[in-house]
Amino acid sequence: MKRLLLPVMLLAASPLAASIPFPPEDPADIRKTEERIGAFRLELEEYHQTGQWAMNPPREWKKVRLIWRSGDGLSEIALQDDGYTVGRSYSVSSPDRMNVCMSGDGLSQYGSGSHFEAYLTAYLAFLKICHTEAARLKAYEAELLQARPDYPAAGERLKALALAAFGRLAPRCIRFRQDRSLDPMMSRECVRFSKPAKQP
Protein backbone atom coordinates (compact mmCIF):
# COMPACT_ATOMS: atom_id res chain seq x y z
CA MET A 1 0.00 0.00 0.00
CA LYS A 2 1.47 3.35 -1.00
CA ARG A 3 1.64 6.06 1.61
CA LEU A 4 1.74 9.80 1.19
CA LEU A 5 2.61 12.24 3.90
CA LEU A 6 -0.18 14.67 4.47
CA PRO A 7 0.66 18.39 4.32
CA VAL A 8 2.96 19.36 7.15
CA MET A 9 1.71 21.93 9.62
CA LEU A 10 4.04 24.34 11.37
CA LEU A 11 2.53 25.81 14.52
CA ALA A 12 3.84 28.46 16.85
CA ALA A 13 3.13 28.23 20.56
CA SER A 14 0.63 31.07 20.67
CA PRO A 15 -3.14 31.16 21.43
CA LEU A 16 -5.30 30.13 18.49
CA ALA A 17 -8.96 31.06 18.10
CA ALA A 18 -11.23 28.34 16.76
CA SER A 19 -14.95 27.75 16.54
CA ILE A 20 -16.25 24.75 18.47
CA PRO A 21 -19.12 22.96 16.68
CA PHE A 22 -20.09 20.96 19.77
CA PRO A 23 -19.69 21.36 23.55
CA PRO A 24 -16.15 20.75 24.81
CA GLU A 25 -15.44 17.39 26.37
CA ASP A 26 -15.22 17.43 30.16
CA PRO A 27 -11.83 15.99 31.18
CA ALA A 28 -13.62 14.35 34.10
CA ASP A 29 -15.49 12.15 31.59
CA ILE A 30 -12.27 10.88 29.97
CA ARG A 31 -10.60 7.77 31.34
CA LYS A 32 -7.15 6.76 30.14
CA THR A 33 -5.22 3.60 30.90
CA GLU A 34 -1.61 3.10 29.87
CA GLU A 35 0.93 0.32 29.67
CA ARG A 36 4.44 0.00 28.30
CA ILE A 37 6.15 -2.56 26.14
CA GLY A 38 9.81 -1.61 26.01
CA ALA A 39 10.21 1.78 24.34
CA PHE A 40 6.53 1.97 23.32
CA ARG A 41 3.54 3.21 25.27
CA LEU A 42 0.04 1.88 24.67
CA GLU A 43 -3.04 3.87 25.60
CA LEU A 44 -6.73 3.11 25.82
CA GLU A 45 -8.73 6.33 26.08
CA GLU A 46 -12.48 6.26 26.70
CA TYR A 47 -14.95 9.13 26.79
CA HIS A 48 -18.46 8.85 28.22
CA GLN A 49 -20.37 12.11 28.43
CA THR A 50 -22.17 12.45 31.75
CA GLY A 51 -23.59 15.96 31.35
CA GLN A 52 -26.62 16.70 29.20
CA TRP A 53 -26.65 19.33 26.48
CA ALA A 54 -29.94 20.64 25.12
CA MET A 55 -29.05 20.34 21.42
CA ASN A 56 -26.72 17.34 21.57
CA PRO A 57 -27.24 13.71 22.60
CA PRO A 58 -24.70 12.17 25.00
CA ARG A 59 -21.52 11.20 23.19
CA GLU A 60 -18.97 8.51 23.77
CA TRP A 61 -15.89 7.18 22.00
CA LYS A 62 -12.85 4.96 22.41
CA LYS A 63 -9.35 5.31 21.01
CA VAL A 64 -6.34 3.02 21.24
CA ARG A 65 -2.84 4.27 20.55
CA LEU A 66 0.69 2.99 20.12
CA ILE A 67 3.16 5.76 20.91
CA TRP A 68 6.91 6.14 20.62
CA ARG A 69 8.53 9.26 22.05
CA SER A 70 12.14 10.36 21.72
CA GLY A 71 14.36 10.47 24.78
CA ASP A 72 14.39 14.28 24.82
CA GLY A 73 10.58 14.35 24.66
CA LEU A 74 10.59 16.54 21.54
CA SER A 75 9.45 14.05 18.92
CA GLU A 76 6.63 11.53 18.83
CA ILE A 77 5.00 8.95 16.58
CA ALA A 78 1.45 7.90 17.40
CA LEU A 79 -0.55 5.16 15.70
CA GLN A 80 -4.22 5.60 16.60
CA ASP A 81 -7.30 3.45 15.99
CA ASP A 82 -10.71 4.95 16.78
CA GLY A 83 -12.73 2.06 15.40
CA TYR A 84 -13.38 3.94 12.16
CA THR A 85 -9.88 4.77 10.95
CA VAL A 86 -6.30 3.76 11.68
CA GLY A 87 -3.82 6.56 11.17
CA ARG A 88 -0.30 7.51 12.14
CA SER A 89 0.75 11.01 13.15
CA TYR A 90 4.18 12.56 13.66
CA SER A 91 5.40 15.58 15.58
CA VAL A 92 8.73 17.21 16.29
CA SER A 93 9.28 20.34 18.37
CA SER A 94 12.09 22.84 18.30
CA PRO A 95 14.55 22.56 21.23
CA ASP A 96 12.96 25.62 22.86
CA ARG A 97 9.48 24.09 22.35
CA MET A 98 8.28 27.29 20.71
CA ASN A 99 7.48 25.64 17.37
CA VAL A 100 6.14 22.24 16.42
CA CYS A 101 5.96 20.48 13.05
CA MET A 102 3.18 17.91 12.66
CA SER A 103 2.01 15.59 9.91
CA GLY A 104 0.49 12.19 9.23
CA ASP A 105 0.76 9.50 6.58
CA GLY A 106 -2.89 9.09 5.76
CA LEU A 107 -5.24 6.21 6.48
CA SER A 108 -4.02 2.70 7.02
CA GLN A 109 -5.24 -0.74 8.04
CA TYR A 110 -3.93 -3.64 10.06
CA GLY A 111 -1.48 -5.75 8.13
CA SER A 112 -0.65 -2.93 5.69
CA GLY A 113 2.54 -0.93 6.01
CA SER A 114 2.98 -2.11 9.57
CA HIS A 115 6.52 -3.48 9.18
CA PHE A 116 9.18 -1.64 11.13
CA GLU A 117 11.08 -0.58 8.01
CA ALA A 118 8.03 1.29 6.71
CA TYR A 119 7.53 2.80 10.16
CA LEU A 120 11.11 4.09 10.25
CA THR A 121 11.23 5.26 6.62
CA ALA A 122 8.07 7.33 6.94
CA TYR A 123 9.31 8.91 10.17
CA LEU A 124 12.68 9.88 8.72
CA ALA A 125 10.98 11.38 5.67
CA PHE A 126 8.83 13.46 7.99
CA LEU A 127 11.86 14.73 9.93
CA LYS A 128 13.54 15.82 6.69
CA ILE A 129 10.43 17.67 5.54
CA CYS A 130 10.45 19.49 8.87
CA HIS A 131 14.11 20.48 8.34
CA THR A 132 15.19 18.72 11.52
CA GLU A 133 18.86 19.29 12.30
CA ALA A 134 21.09 16.46 11.04
CA ALA A 135 22.40 15.63 14.51
CA ARG A 136 18.89 15.33 15.96
CA LEU A 137 17.69 13.29 12.99
CA LYS A 138 20.51 10.80 13.43
CA ALA A 139 19.89 10.64 17.19
CA TYR A 140 16.17 9.93 16.70
CA GLU A 141 16.94 7.31 14.07
CA ALA A 142 19.34 5.57 16.45
CA GLU A 143 16.76 5.65 19.25
CA LEU A 144 14.05 4.18 17.06
CA LEU A 145 16.38 1.46 15.78
CA GLN A 146 17.21 0.61 19.38
CA ALA A 147 13.48 0.23 20.03
CA ARG A 148 13.05 -2.12 17.08
CA PRO A 149 12.99 -5.37 19.13
CA ASP A 150 9.99 -4.07 21.08
CA TYR A 151 7.92 -3.17 18.02
CA PRO A 152 6.39 -6.58 17.10
CA ALA A 153 5.08 -7.21 20.62
CA ALA A 154 3.81 -3.64 20.91
CA GLY A 155 2.03 -3.93 17.56
CA GLU A 156 0.35 -7.19 18.58
CA ARG A 157 -0.72 -5.65 21.86
CA LEU A 158 -2.25 -2.70 19.99
CA LYS A 159 -4.29 -5.12 17.89
CA ALA A 160 -5.44 -6.95 21.01
CA LEU A 161 -6.56 -3.66 22.59
CA ALA A 162 -8.37 -2.66 19.40
CA LEU A 163 -10.09 -6.01 19.20
CA ALA A 164 -11.24 -5.72 22.80
CA ALA A 165 -12.39 -2.11 22.33
CA PHE A 166 -14.14 -2.42 18.96
CA GLY A 167 -14.84 -6.13 18.54
CA ARG A 168 -12.98 -6.44 15.24
CA LEU A 169 -9.94 -5.12 13.36
CA ALA A 170 -11.82 -4.43 10.14
CA PRO A 171 -13.39 -2.79 8.35
CA ARG A 172 -11.61 0.54 8.76
CA CYS A 173 -11.97 3.49 6.41
CA ILE A 174 -9.00 3.76 4.06
CA ARG A 175 -10.30 6.50 1.75
CA PHE A 176 -12.44 9.56 2.40
CA ARG A 177 -14.56 11.30 -0.22
CA GLN A 178 -12.62 14.05 -1.96
CA ASP A 179 -14.84 17.12 -2.05
CA ARG A 180 -13.16 20.32 -3.15
CA SER A 181 -15.85 22.35 -1.43
CA LEU A 182 -14.81 20.90 1.93
CA ASP A 183 -11.62 20.93 3.91
CA PRO A 184 -10.10 17.48 3.14
CA MET A 185 -8.92 17.23 6.73
CA MET A 186 -12.51 17.59 7.96
CA SER A 187 -14.31 15.24 5.54
CA ARG A 188 -15.22 11.97 7.24
CA GLU A 189 -17.42 10.39 4.57
CA CYS A 190 -15.80 7.07 3.72
CA VAL A 191 -15.86 5.73 0.17
CA ARG A 192 -13.61 2.71 0.69
CA PHE A 193 -13.24 0.34 3.62
CA SER A 194 -10.56 -2.24 4.33
CA LYS A 195 -11.36 -5.90 3.93
CA PRO A 196 -11.89 -8.15 6.96
CA ALA A 197 -8.55 -8.82 8.62
CA LYS A 198 -7.31 -11.91 10.40
CA GLN A 199 -7.79 -11.58 14.13
CA PRO A 200 -4.69 -11.92 16.32
Q: What is the SS3 assignment for 65-109?
A: EEEEECCCCCEEEEEEECCCCEEEEEEEECCCCCEEEEEEEEEEE
Residue 99: what pLDDT?
93
10 Å CB burial of residue 160 (0-12, 13-18, 19+) is middle
Cα–Cα distance, 92 to 132 (Å, whole number): 8
The pTM is what?
A: 0.77
What ranges do the domains of the chain cover?
34-46+59-170
Question: In a structure prediction context, what are the per-residue pLDDT tens digits for the chain, which is 200 residues long?
Answer: 334 454 555 554 433 333 344 455 666 678 899 999 999 999 999 987 776 654 565 578 899 999 999 999 999 999 999 998 888 899 999 999 999 999 987 677 776 445 788 888 889 999 999 999 999 999 999 999 999 999 999 999 999 999 999 999 888 888 887 765 555 555 668 888 887 655 43
